[in-house]
A and B are shown apart, each in its own frame.
Chain A
Amino acid sequence: MNWEVIFREESLALYGEGLLTTLGLLSSSLAVGGVLALIFALMLTGRSKVLQRIVGAYTFVIRGTPLLIQVYMIYYGLAQLEWIQTRWDTVWPWTYFKDAFFCALLAFSLNTAGYTAEMLAGAIRETNAGEIESAQAFGMSRFQLMLRIVLPSALRRTLPAYSNEVVMMLHSTSLASAVPAMLDLTAAASRIYSDFYLPFEAYLFAAAIYLCCTFCLIGVFKPLERHFLAHLAPRTN
């Protein structure tokens, strides 16, 4: 074991840079994916059969195929369609497809949106029928009912499953290292491995950092669950 190289300033800086990219990818894909998931969940539970089918097919494909292939599809696949190639030098939204970070972000956001949408839709469907009836008895419109009764309750009940999804997403961001231009935590470890031929130390150190991040995330979600799901906790007296 040769840990000296790992704890050298340059190596630590490389790990730090990778960690920042990983956390940046995680937070931005959760933000974008979260907004998409909310919209998709509303479509899945809405009245329109057409929208239900379309979003249902989307989540089926996203949840049935490996994330690595989704990343390849966006990074290599889309970027080489002629239609996009003729536009990505000049026309505005398509210029982003030249950027590796954007491609990874897009793939991760679409992926987490698919999983989260199904969780949220499940929670919305499971909303207590009595709560909905009494809201209707108060004369709330569909929109008011959604905003005041269903969503506040469904979002809270999704929290435990969502914390799993967030940890899974943290682990999934390691796939960004499969895209050549990205330097995330895993890619940083790979670079140190190839520079010094120390695979064990390089990857073990990255694994320890991931483990710490996982525990931190769990540490954030546990109190949140206790706070937001207090009304569902067993009575103590």
Chain B
Amino acid sequence: MAAYYASILYGALLTVGVSLAALLVSVLLGLLGAGAKLSGNRPLVALATGYTTIIRGIPELVLMLLVFYGGSIGINHLLELSGTGATLDINPFTAGVLTLGFIYGAYMTETFRGAILAIPRGQFEAAAAFGMGPLQMFLRITAPQMVRHAVPGFTNNWLVLIKATALVSLIGLQEMTYLAKQASAATRSPFAFFLFTASLFLIYTWVSLTLLRKLHGRYSLGAKRGEL
């Protein structure tokens, strides 16, 4: 019994790994998406709008199955056409990270877009007047201020992403949900194992929430709040 619990704990590391890697992908895509949506360049805006609309309209699980099963066949088909005789297997970790990152990138796009819009226009004009280039402006003006506006939405997305990592078990990644299911099948005491896994998730979400609250406080220093 104890060995099963230990294996689930070990699987928790994989859960943390998948979620952090997917977070990285989604933040990058979110920044790109928000930049595209705010660029005013028509094809870019249309592309980003199509991305966020379609992705947010399809269940995560279906997208994951599509990427994992459909993607590997598609890639191998392309490799076959190239005639090198090479084959590539998408492993569940990569498929999970890419799909989750791709999906939550759409949600992050909307969060970041709103956060950037919340920064007063005058700030950008002042930065331009100081002769800052786009990159400097992003690093010195946009990024530090958008964090404060983005954290509440970011926190929601992150909590949903953590919970969505459980779905990766359905394409065979041996993270904690997968191991809990195996353990319950082997020992016939599913209740205990699922309860254990659920509490690990609860701890993970609770710790994240506490840390992100601190971050929000840190980036809200000096921001004026109206007295009610």
Contacts and interface: CB of A to CB of B under 8 A. Distances in A.
Partners in one complex: yes
Nearest to A78: B191
B21 interface: no
Interface in B61-81: 61-63, 65-66, 69-70, 73-74
Nearest to B184: A76
Contacts of A172: 59
B145 interface: no
B32 interface: no
Which among B61, B163, B188 has the greatest number of chain A C-beta atoms within 10 A? B61
Interface string A1-42: 000000000000000000000000000000000000000000
Given A199-B69, A215-B57, A69 B63 contact: no
Interface stretch (A95-103, A146-154, A202-210, A224-232): A202-210
Query: Interface residues of B: mostly helix, strand, loop or mixed?
Result: helix
B58 interface: yes
Number of contact residues on A: which range applies? 35 or more
B167 A189 contact: no
B contact residues, range? 35 or more
B74 A210 contact: no
A186 B61 contact: yes
Contacts of B73: 199-200
A76 B198 CA distance: 14
Interface SS of A by simple majority: helix
Which of A69, A76, A178 has the most B CB atoms < 10 Å from its CB?
A69
A161 to B, nearest CB: 11
Contacts of A186: 59, 61-62, 65
Interface of A: 60-61, 63-70, 72-73, 76-78, 80-81, 167, 170-175, 177-178, 186, 189-190, 193, 199-200, 203-204, 206-207, 210-211, 214-215
14 contacts: A69-B166, A73-B195, A77-B184, A80-B188, A80-B191, A167-B56, A171-B58, A178-B170, A199-B73, A200-B74, A203-B66, A203-B69, A204-B70, A214-B58
